[in-house]
Amino acid sequence: MSALGQRDLFALHGRQFVIHPCEPNLFTPLGYDLRIGHQIILPNRTKSPDEDLNPPIHVNNGESGSFVFPPQSTSIIVTKERVWLSRHLMGSIHARGSLALRGLFINATTVDPNWDGKMFMRVFNSSPKEERIAADEAFCTMALYTLRSPSLEPPQTNPSRAIDNLKEIYGEAIGSSLYSHANSKEASQERVRGDELVHLGKLHSAKPMVYRRASETAYSIKSMAPVRTRYGKFGLATTTAIAAPYVGDLLLDGGLLSLTSTAPLYVGLSLAVFGLFYMGDFFEYRPK
C-alpha cells in the first residue's frame, strides 16, 4: 500500500476516484481538502439521553457564508463533496492542524474501497469560545492509498446506513435533517452530475492499473529477448511463463475476469503449460 501524491491524484481523478464538486486548488501534496456542506449542531445535554430522545437541533447549510461552532459543542458534519473510490483505493480522513489549534477536533476515520457518497463526521469544539469556518474553507484532508490487490468486497457501510446509525445514536431529528438535506433540490441536481462522473470513473477505473501491469509485462518480455534469440522457442515459452501472471493481473484488473484473486495464478499456470508444449524440440532448434 502506498500513498498517492499530488501528481498521482491529478492523474487518477476521474479514473480511480471521483470528487464532486472538485476544486483543483484543494489538491494538496498528500491528499484533497474537504469542505463542509451541512452542519447539525447538537444540543448540550443536561439530562440522560433516555429522558429526551429527540432534543432540538440547529441546522446550518452555510447560507450566511460560514459555519458556527458554539463553545463546548458537538456538531455532525456532512461534507460538501461526494467521494467515490474504486476497488483499487482506500482513504483516510485527517484533521487540519490549524483547526486543531483552535480547539476543533474531528473523528479520524477510513474510507473503504468502492465507497460512493458524502462523508459524515463528528466535530467537537473544545475551546471556551465560538469558532467559525468559512463555507469555502477546508476543514479536513482526505489521503488516498493504492491497495496491493483490488478489493472484491462492497464497503462496510454506505451513506444510508450511516444516517440510520446517526439517527439511532442522536435521535429522529438528526435522521430527518440528514435525509432532507440529501433529497433537497440542490442535492438532487448535484447527484445527477455526480452520477455521470462516477459512471465514467467506473468505466475507466482499471486503466491506470492495467497500464502499470502492461509495462511490467513488456519489461519481462524485453528482458527475455537475448534468451529468445539464442534458444528460439524455448525463449518464447519462458517469456510466456514469466509474463503470464502479469497477464492474469491485467485481465483481472480490467474486469475481464470475475474470479477470485487467484485468477492470475491459474492463468499463469495455464499459459506456462501451453508454453511448454509449444517449445517442441527447442534443444535441437538453434537459429544461426
Cell of 267: 492463468
Instruction: Report the distance separating Cα 135 and Cα 38, nearest Å.
Output: 10
| The pLDDT value given to residue 76 | 93
**Domain definitions of the chain by residue range:** 2-204, 207-279
Amino acid at 280: G
68-78 core/surface letters (b: 16 or more CB in 10 A; e: else): bbeeebbbbbb
pLDDT of amino acid 212: 43
- At 183 the pLDDT is 80
| CB count in 10 Å sphere of residue 80 | 20
Compute CA distances 156 → 2, 96, 196, whole Å: 22, 26, 24
Contact partners, residue 118, CB within 8 Å, separation at least 6: 37, 78, 79, 80, 81, 82, 83, 159, 182
> Chain-wide mean pLDDT for the chain?
76
The Cα–Cα gap between 49 and 175 comes to 16
Flag the least confident range among 3-17, 69-83, 174-188.
174-188
List C-alpha distances in Å: 34 to 135, 202, 248, 278.
11, 22, 37, 56
Q: Hey, what amino acid is at 137?
A: E
Question: Quick one: pLDDT at residue 274?
Answer: 58
CATH class of 2-204: mainly beta
For residue 31, the model assigns a pLDDT of: 95
CA angle 7, 212, 3 (to 5 degrees): 40
Sign, CA dihedral 150-156-161-164, equals negative
| pLDDT confidence band for 277 (50 / 70 / 90) | low
Predicted confidence at residue 159, as pLDDT, reads: 87
pLDDT digits (tens, 9 = 90+) for 192-207: 889 999 998 988 886 5
**Is residue 228 predicted with pLDDT exceeding 60?**
no
Residue-wise pLDDT for 244-257, tens only, equals 444 444 444 444 43
Give dist(CA 21, CA 134) in Å, integer.
17
Higher pLDDT, 135 or 250: 135
Q: Which three cell numbers stand for residue 116?
A: 460512493
**pLDDT digit string, tens, across residues 19-47:** 999 999 999 999 999 999 999 998 876 44
pTM: 0.67
The strand ranges marked E within 52-163 are: 58-60, 66-69, 74-85, 89-95, 104-106, 109-111, 116-125, 131-134, 138-146
Region 219-227: mean pLDDT is 44
Q: How confident is the model at residue 211 (pLDDT cuts 50, 70, 90)?
A: very low
> Is residue 250 a contact partner of residue 210, using CB atoms and an 8 Å limit?
yes
Contact of 241 with 275, CB cutoff 8 Å: yes
d(CA 3, CA 17): 14
pLDDT category at 48 given cuts 50, 70, 90 is low
User: Does 77 or 233 have the greater pLDDT score?
Assistant: 77
**How would residue 276 be classed by pLDDT, with cut points 50, 70 and 90?**
low
Band (285; pLDDT cuts 50, 70, 90):
very low
